[in-house]
Structure 1
Amino acid sequence: MVRSPAASQGQPSPAPALKPSKGAGGGFGARSAVLLLALLWPAQLLTAAGVMTSTAQAEVAQHFHTTQIAWFVLIYTLVGVLLTPFAAKFGDIYGKKRVMLVITAIGLVGDVIAALAPTYELMLIGRGIAAGYAPIAALVFATSREVFPRKQVGPASGIIGGSGAFVAAASPLIAGWLLDSFGFHGVLWFLVLATAIALVLLFAFVPETPRRAADGQFDWPGGLLLGGSVTALIYGIGQGTAWGWTDLRTLGLLAGSGVGLIAFVLVEKRVAHPLLDVRMMSRRSVATVLASSSVLAGSAIAGASVMSVVVALYPRIPGVSDGLGWSATHSAVVGIPTGIMALLAGFTAGWLTGRADPRLPWLIGGTLATLGLILQGLFHHNELQVIAAGMVSGMGLGMVMACTPILLMGAVSPQEQSMTSGMSIMLQGLANAIATQVTFVVLNRNSTVVDGTTFYQDAGYRNAYFALAACAGIGLLVSLLIPKLLRPTEIEAGAAAI
């Protein structure tokens, strides 16, 4: 008998699944393979965009002579965090495919604006609009549970999550070639093309899913409280260095964020149709998986997407900048072994989750991710050191990315999947935004501004890596509290035939 996590914990049992399509065994037929690609591409475009824009940010900073380059990546994360719970809820109300098409179209418009932007301010506006696409991963993972037969759900989700390691390995190579050949505009136009392809794949090959919220009611008070609180938190952290951490503006934003989040929790407990069901967080399985995956993934991704780029691509100027001064292509080539190890570790973790307790590869991945950040803080001064330390981090990140969606599926029912995936993506984005801000706060303590551009010294690089390792270590400790979860072969799925 297939078990449902919600049903096993006193929650209502999910509706019966629709009759699975042909090829409902563990292997993928032609139609399932095409569907897998149509979901994988949009989900991993997020990874590609994150890596490629991070790779381009050093050139963007020097081109526009801005000291606010952190917002080039952060504005995308911030808007994405705000939109994710709304997108997940709208997916339940109107159907996930319809919502995915809308947010992908919005993201495409933003990508075009950013690619054409003549000023840094307009580029940030484009990046903010492009972030309309950011909730796509939450909808993709929820959709995979609906459209694949039960025996294919675990492997499909593992492949979608684990393929991020391959994308993370390939993206720097593509970004390096584009940067060296066409500058950062080449990277931005590539994202326009990739987003357009995602839109076509979703429209042509992904079926619509059942509407899980038939009444169509929406929690607007909760949405406004959550959005305002998160915005105040991230903006307050971002401006703390400029204003001062004891400045009344900084303290006011942080205090206001705390009050807003408390009010949000109280509202969500009372409304009939919450934006995020915070009551699920009272279940140990959901709370520990969400907390540990958010902190671990957010810290590891910040190390991979921010620190690795800043260290490698910023110039070496005695007394001013201790970057390695590599070209984007050279940096990408040096990163190949890291990408390969991440890819192999991701697929190994996906394979292990079907044959052993899913917590085992997760804990291994979290340990390697934390250790890798420590090693990168100590050893980042030449190619050999970057390769050796990066391979450890890559293995950890690959395993974490592959295991996260599988752990979530083992903790919730199909009815809860979309909302929980939205919560996961939102919390990961929030953790990544905070980790990114903390990274730049630490870096700025050992920095020099020349001609409007901020450059960093080696002590800043070391301390920033150590700060991220401390954050990842907290996520690893929380992981020890995760209870036994359902394995991929035990979860309930298959609500939409393919």
Structure 2
Amino acid sequence: MSEAVISPVRIGRLSIGALGVLALALGTLQSVVEPALPLLQRELGVSPAEGALVANTLLVTGAVITPVAGKLGDRYGGKRVLIRLMAVVSAGGLLAGLAPDLPVLLLGQVLQGVMVGALPLSFILVREHLPSGESQVAIGVVVALFTGGGMVGTAVAGPIAEGLSWHWMFALPTLAIIAATLVVTRLMPHDPPIHADSRIDWPGVVLLSGTLLTFMVGLVTVTSAGLEPGEVGAVAVVVAALATGWVVVERRAASPMVDLRMLAKPAMWNACVLTFFITISSGMVLLMLPQLFAVSADGGYGFGADTTDIGLFLLPGAVAGALSDSVGGVAARRFGPRAVVVAGGVITATTMIALAALHTEAWQLVLAKVLTAFAAGVATTALLAGTATAVEARDTGIATGLLVVTRVIGVALGAQIGGAILAAGADSATGRPTESAFGTGFAVAGVVAAMSLLVVRITKKGAQA
């Protein structure tokens, strides 16, 4: 019997567990680079800017491939595409584990970057084989384990790299991914592909990928090397032109990559806008807190923490973020995504505005990280789970893929804004950010979080009208 005629069947805890373990292993592989960047720079003999390429390459690839993977999963079946995607990730992880130099390591990171596409593919399988309420909870569990993998990778990267070698910090998670993929292949039933007479909208795929690639490369360049105003304007023009071309192509395509009518639905575009504002604030916090921990206390602020101490300070926030992802699906089912977003926005805005005035004790920063990580995780996961069950089943992959990309872009943009604020407020003599720059950055992050409340208010009035 062919896969096309297999009827969907209900999946059990073992299948969900297998997806969760796979997400955990993927999150671990994704996060091992950041804490080990100084070591990689020494071992490979590269500059900090070249070392940053290792982390940024994965980010760019993930943003570009995710909506494409989601669309292919909708069309050909989530399990089929997921298994093929994991083969690419595994090849990238093994290549990075054997890499003799930076170019080979970067190639491995390019291949590993497609792992972000595993999330919408997992959501397709969950949506296909579980009732709506249970699927929201399961989506939260998968996202939580992916985030939890990030904690594992951050914690084990240093010991593995120093005890064995940096090659093993890529190889060991990759072996876990291979094993988990084999279990998923065995336990997860096939989801039937969608029968369609028309071909894949490849012009739409190319234009959307080009738009995201240009935007992310431009964003990474601005963050790492800086661009002149004219160059920034040129990048913006190219992105706008590609995006406009994509919209024109999608409106005329017989079977568009993204149904623009789906994007016009309130559940979809509201979720994208809200996710964008929430993750911008999260990205600012993600960049500024470690910077403040690292600043020397000689100037009357800062804590002079080293890499190990910073990791310990941020660990409670990482745990809170993982827990919040698992709670987000449950909260969306019980209270609805809108109520969860309001609660998360209030907590984040209040916390960041308070932190702008009170940031002289380490516990204040640790508590702020815990609160904002939990609030943002609950809100974005609730939006993701709500959207996954609000759109048509055939659009689950592309809809959630676009939301995942929105999260990536929001965090990256927030980090850039935070970095720009700190750079603008740097002391001319020492070159380090002043205390007032941190205060301004925290206040701006709070205002951005509060804007999500305004978006909720406006969209609520529109819905009532």
TM range (shorter): 0.7 to 0.9
Query: Which of 271, 284, 287 pairs up with 1:289?
Result: 271
Match of 1:325, SS? coil
Deviation string, structure 1 residues 16-68 (Cα, Å, up to 9, x no partner): x95754xxxxxxxxx61111112223334454444443333354456632235
Distance 1:394 1:132, change over 3 A: closer
Matched, 1:129 2:111: yes
Matched, 1:57 2:37: yes
Q: Could you say which residue in structure 2 is the equivalent of 1:352?
A: 331
Matched, 1:245 2:222: no
Judge conservation of contact 2:92–2:109 (CA < 8 Å) in 1. Answer: yes
Judge conservation of contact 2:200–2:257 (CA < 8 Å) in 1. Answer: yes
Matched, 1:90 2:82: no
Query: Which of 14, 17, 27 pairs up with 1:37?
Result: 17
**CA distance in structure 2 between the aligned counterparts of 1:183 and 1:369, rounded to whole angstroms:** 39
Q: Could you say which residue in structure 1 is the equivalent of 2:394?
A: 415
Stretches of structure 2 that go unaligned for 5 or more consecutive residues are: 1-5
Deviation string, structure 1 residues 240-294 (Cα, Å, up to 9, x no partner): 47464323x3322221111111111121111011112222222222110122123
Q: TM-score scaled by structure 2?
A: 0.82
Judge conservation of contact 2:272–2:406 (CA < 8 Å) in 1. Answer: yes
| Offset of residue 129 of structure 1 | 1.8
Judge conservation of contact 2:66–2:404 (CA < 8 Å) in 1. Answer: yes
**CA distance in structure 1 between the aligned counterparts of 2:379 and 2:179, rounded to whole angstroms:** 27
Q: Could you say which residue in structure 1 is the equivalent of 2:455?
A: 478
Distance 1:424 1:343, change over 3 A: closer
Distance 1:385 1:286, change over 3 A: same
Which 10-residue stretch deviates more, 432-441 or 179-188? 179-188
Choose between structure 1 and 2 for higher RCO, CA contacts under 8 A separated by at least 6 residues. Answer: 1
Q: Could you say which residue in structure 1 is the equivalent of 2:202?
A: 220
Structure 1 counterpart of 2:370, one-letter code: M
Structure 2 counterpart of 1:479, one-letter code: V
| Offset of residue 77 of structure 1 | 1.7
**CA distance in structure 2 between the aligned counterparts of 1:182 and 1:376, rounded to whole angstroms:** 40
Aligned residue runs from structure 1 range 183-332, under 5 A: 185-215=167-197, 217-240=199-222, 242=225, 244-247=227-230, 249-297=231-279, 299-300=281-282, 303-304=285-286, 306-309=287-290, 312=293, 316=296, 324-328=304-308, 330-332=309-311
Distance 1:232 1:353, change over 3 A: closer
| Offset of residue 396 of structure 1 | 1.0
Stretches of structure 1 that go unaligned for 5 or more consecutive residues are: 1-16, 22-30, 449-454, 485-498
Distance 1:176 1:338, change over 3 A: farther
Judge conservation of contact 1:285–1:482 (CA < 8 Å) in 2. Answer: no
Aligned residue runs from structure 1 range 418-457, under 5 A: 418-445=397-424, 457=433
**CA distance in structure 2 between the aligned counterparts of 1:481 and 1:407, rounded to whole angstroms:** 19
Q: TM-score scaled by structure 1?
A: 0.77
Structure 2 counterpart of 1:72, one-letter code: V
Deviation string, structure 1 residues 368-427 (Cα, Å, up to 9, x no partner): 344445556666665423322222122213312431332213431212212211221222
Structure with the bigger percentage of helix: 2
Match of 1:355, SS? helix
**CA distance in structure 2 between the aligned counterparts of 1:368 and 1:69, rounded to whole angstroms:** 35
**CA distance in structure 1 between the aligned counterparts of 2:147 and 2:417, rounded to whole angstroms:** 24
**CA distance in structure 2 between the aligned counterparts of 1:195 and 1:411, rounded to whole angstroms:** 30
Q: Could you say which residue in structure 1 is the equivalent of 2:130?
A: 148
Match of 1:153, SS? helix
Match of 2:413, SS? helix
**CA distance in structure 1 between the aligned counterparts of 2:366 and 2:211, rounded to whole angstroms:** 40
Which 10-residue stretch deviates more, 88-97 or 155-164? 155-164
In percent, how many aligned pairs have the same letter? 20
Query: Which of 312, 316, 337 pairs up with 1:333?
Result: 312
Matched, 1:394 2:367: no
Judge conservation of contact 2:9–2:189 (CA < 8 Å) in 1. Answer: no
Judge conservation of contact 1:180–1:327 (CA < 8 Å) in 2. Answer: no
Match of 2:49, SS? coil
Q: Could you say which residue in structure 2 is the equivalent of 1:24?
A: none
| Offset of residue 209 of structure 1 | 0.9
RMSD (Å) for aligned C-alpha atoms = 3.6
Q: Could you say which residue in structure 2 is the equivalent of 1:452?
A: none
Deviation string, structure 1 residues 106-154 (Cα, Å, up to 9, x no partner): 1122223333334444433321221122211011112100122455323
Query: Which of 385, 388, 395 pairs up with 1:406?
Result: 385
Aligned residues: 450
**CA distance in structure 2 between the aligned counterparts of 1:357 and 1:173, rounded to whole angstroms:** 34
Q: Could you say which residue in structure 2 is the equivalent of 1:13?
A: none
**CA distance in structure 2 between the aligned counterparts of 1:379 and 1:117, rounded to whole angstroms:** 45
| Offset of residue 166 of structure 1 | 4.3
Distance 1:111 1:91, change over 3 A: same
Match of 2:193, SS? coil
| Offset of residue 362 of structure 1 | 2.5
**CA distance in structure 1 between the aligned counterparts of 2:103 and 2:440, rounded to whole angstroms:** 30
